[in-house]
Amino acid sequence: MTNDKEANIAVQGPNDSWCISAWQGVVATTAEVLRAINVNAGTVVISQLDNGPAFIAIDQALELLEAVHVPLPQFFTDEQVNSIGDLVGAEWLLETSVGERVARQCDHVQIAGNDVFKRARIRRSGAIKPHDGTGLITFTSGSTGNPKGVCLSRAHMRSVSDGIREVLQRLDIKRHLSALPYGVLLEHVAGINTAFSQGTTIVSLPLASVGLKGSSSFDPCIFDHCLRAYKIESVILLPQMLKAWVHYLEKNSLVASVSLKFVAAGGAPVGKALIQRSTELQIPVHEGYGLSEGGSVQTLNLAPDQCTGGVGKSLPHSKLTLGDDGEIWLHKPVMLGYLGHPPQGEQPFPTGDLGVQSADGTWQIVGRKKNVIVTSFGRNVSPEWLETLLCEQPIIAHAVVIGDSMPRLAAVIWPVDANVTRLQIAEAIKTINSGLPDYAQVASWCFGSVDSDSRQLEFTPNGRPKRLTIAEKYRSHLQI
């Protein structure tokens, strides 16, 4: 599917490709379409689009018009979309997948080979005005159930992608595959924006074509085939996607595609064992650290400074420091502010993440400050520490540890597949416990629900657990 003539291709979709000059024409045409429906500077537009060239064209056209883009995942319900639309005062909703009834009622337009449906919205009187200079609003993962709207400027986002480009230049990456939804800021900034800034072809396909369905269903066989067929050189994955892919390769006695130069893993801890298994399968995986309030990626664990178990050094655009209590503070770049909250200004931002910085500047993430478990015996335990150890077991896909104000710790376990038995999980936990102090051992556990509805309620789009929801649901299943 590739040849030497594609060296100057900017965007490759499932059916068409565009060189940079042709792509600029697509963006200009898209801007005219939007201008014709009175999208101008400051207009708030929500999109609920599948991955593909249409999303990129719309996003870049909205930037050209100085409008505000609020990209949302496709699996959000109509109620969620309408609620956010009312909150931000959105005047238009752009979609690629709508029901037959809605399709008959909506106007649609062809953008970069896709039918995009546009629905006008009534701006509510109680809408909150975004901070001055906002180009994009992204909502935090919402692990507490109350996601916040993060207002980012386009200049801020460019500074992050420029910093990533600077450290990746030596890899000479030619082809990047978008495997995460564009509604996830990580793919938007480190995928789309970085690819354009360094002249990399971005392979932009519907998510089902890369193995991703909804918020939590991932088919590593489809994904692996896509990497090989399109001769992909870089891709960004969530840790659970990486683990599923590693399991697939091991099970089928395969190694990764020889074209790969860079695989980034972020959004949650990866763990030393998974990094080691990936390396043995010739996956060039690198862990990083970032947050929405900083515009995504802040560190990257790259050679020649690559360290085991760390997330690397701060990137050129970023400045991080460590507080006396171990909390990481972000000094730059910092968001304009949360939607409906005072501007952030030049104040450093407390990330809520606990970390350690070595003498050479390399960072390690210990866990979330607010997640620290205090047992009824007064012991402080970071659940992320134990969850990383649990997920290093090849048979465990996800784990959530609970135990606040309880005498013993417990865990909810999601195995890699339905063939994993209770005995195997029990043996894996016994192995882990043998290397832990008594207060940090997992005393009881249960299986988590595997249906997609439960997964959407219990995990955020980027895979972070909604801890309170999980603790309330499974507490009665655990012998604590």
The pLDDT of 420-449, averaged and rounded, is 94
Are 268 and 239 in contact by the 8 Å Cβ rule? The answer is yes
Sorted by where each starts, the structural domains of the chain and their CATH numbers stand as 4-129 (3.40.50.980), 154-369 (3.40.50.12780), 372-477 (3.30.300.30)
DSSP bridge partners of 212 = 218
Cα dihedral sign, 296-302-307-313: negative
pLDDT score recorded for residue 404: 85
19-58 pLDDT tens trace = 999 999 999 999 999 999 999 999 999 999 999 999 999 9
pLDDT score recorded for residue 334: 96
The pLDDT of 418-428, averaged and rounded, is 95
CA distance linking residue 414 with residue 194, whole number of Å: 34
The pLDDT of 81-92, averaged and rounded, is 92
CA distance linking residue 357 with residue 275, whole number of Å: 20
Burial 400-425 (b: 16+ CB within 10 A, else e): bbbbbebebbbbbbbbbeeebeeeeb
Report CA 341 to chain centroid distance, whole Å. Answer: 24
At 3, the pLDDT band (50, 70, 90 cuts) reads very low
Q: Identify the residue with better confidence: 215 or 140.
A: 140
Phi-psi region of 68 (alpha: psi -120 to 50; beta: other; left: phi over 0): beta
Phi, psi of 473 (to 5 degrees): -70, -40
Supply 421's token pair.
């038995």
Return the amino acid letter for 7.
A
Q: Is 232 helix (H, G, I), strand (E, B) or coil?
A: coil
pLDDT at residue 288 tops 80: yes
Residue 17: closest CA among 47, 59, 56, 50: 56
The pLDDT of 275-298, averaged and rounded, is 95
pLDDT at residue 99 tops 70: no
Whose tokens are 């219990």? That residue is: 458
What does pTM read for this prediction?
Answer: 0.86
236-272 pLDDT tens trace = 998 889 999 999 999 999 999 999 999 999 877 788 8
305-335 pLDDT tens trace = 778 778 999 999 999 999 999 999 999 999 9
pLDDT score recorded for residue 2: 44
At 144, the pLDDT band (50, 70, 90 cuts) reads very low
Q: Is 434 helix (H, G, I), strand (E, B) or coil?
A: coil
pLDDT score recorded for residue 104: 62
The pLDDT of 330-356, averaged and rounded, is 95
Residue 280 neighbours by CB distance under 10 Å: 12
pLDDT score recorded for residue 198: 94
pLDDT at residue 163 tops 70: yes
Residue 319: closest CA among 367, 364, 363: 363
At 475, the pLDDT band (50, 70, 90 cuts) reads confident
The pLDDT of 407-412, averaged and rounded, is 93
CA distances from 248 to 177, 214, 238, 467 (A): 19, 20, 16, 28
182-207 pLDDT tens trace = 998 999 999 999 999 999 999 999 99
The pLDDT of 445-465, averaged and rounded, is 82
pLDDT score recorded for residue 141: 59
pLDDT score recorded for residue 265: 93
DSSP bridge partners of 188 = none
- Kindly report the average pLDDT of the chain as a whole number: 91
CA distances from 396 to 121, 310, 412, 415, 421 (A): 44, 22, 11, 4, 11
The pLDDT of 426-435, averaged and rounded, is 95
Percent of the chain with pLDDT over 70: 94
